[in-house]
Amino acid sequence: MGTVGKALDLLDLFTKAQPQHGLSHLARSSGLNKATCHRLLTELESRGLLEQTGPAREYRLGPAVLRLSALREAAVPTREAAMPILRRLAEATGETAHLSHIVAGRLQTLAFAYASRQGVRVMMEDADFLPFHATASGAAVLAHLADAEPLIAAAPNADTLRARIVEARAKGYAETLSTFEKDVNSFAVPLFDATGTCTGALAVAAAAPRMTPDLHATITTALIAAGAEITALWGGQPPIRTGAPT
């Protein structure tokens, strides 16, 4: 792996839960030598991707990332464009909707929306990574990804995951019951870009105790419609169904 790869890996250590890190801590959790780590950090800092805070000299993400994301959204309005649809989906179903994107082989949460009417909500964190093997979004994506096999095989629950994926292909949406989080039923559809490759997922996470056959139907139909809308908005097209009857 090249030097810049190591530097960029350091950025992955910054999360919602841990937005600040000291030098030694970063060196430990990245496996890099302290001196190496320090050099990479200062190099990232000099470009504004990181900054050092007050007297503790901890590192956190810097203001340069704001420019990059503004440019990305201006060039490819992935997030902002999808937000209204996401909000509508949350309202229509009365549950939490969220959008995720495949980034460097991982599933990254991009955005989410709550239904205003519910007191009990399934809470989400954006800017975090979702495990492929334990989420409906993961299954929806794996069902339509080109080389999903290695990812599936690597999962701790490869068998049930495989079953979930087969089901997702058949029904058009993936479903998990209290898998990633207890008492949360999740439903997800894949999203596609202009080349027909699956690049993300749209999901609804519902509180399990509320679930009824009616709500199930409401969610799945609204979800499929919203998914098609976002895919269209991204200039995308669902892939041609292979093996369909003539």
Q: Which of 15, 18, 24, 116 binds DNA (CB under 7 A)?
A: 24
Segment near DNA (CB under 7 A); pick from 2-10, 134-142, 180-188, 209-217:
2-10
Segment near DNA (CB under 7 A); pick from 31-39, 78-86, 177-185, 186-194:
31-39
CA distances from 144 to 56, 103, 169, 246 (A): 46, 15, 8, 21
Contact residues: its own copies, CB under 8 A: 2-5, 7-9, 11-12, 14-16, 19-20, 39-40, 43-44, 46-49, 54, 60-76, 78-79, 101, 103-104, 108, 110, 126-127, 194-195
CA dihedral 136, 137, 141, 147 (to 10 degrees): -80
Type of residue numbered 72: R
Closest CA to 122 of 215, 208, 189, 188: 208
Q: How far is the CB of 13 from DNA (least distance, A)?
A: 13
Does 60 participate in binding DNA (rule CB under 7 A)? no
Does 72 participate in binding DNA (rule CB under 7 A)? no
Does 32 participate in binding DNA (rule CB under 7 A)? yes
Contacts to DNA from residues 194-213, by CB under 7 A: none
Q: How far is the CB of 191 from its own copies (least distance, A)?
A: 12
CA distances from 210 to 52, 65, 153, 160, 214 (A): 46, 40, 34, 25, 11
- Residue 100: both structure tokens together: 């995720």
Question: Contacts with DNA: how many residues (CB under 7 A)?
Answer: 21
Does 25 participate in binding DNA (rule CB under 7 A)? yes
Type of residue numbered 110: L
- Residue 164: both structure tokens together: 């979930």
Q: In angstroms, how far is CA 201 from the centroid of its own chain?
A: 7
- Return residues touching DNA (CB under 7 A): 2-4, 6, 22-25, 32-36, 38-42, 52, 57-58
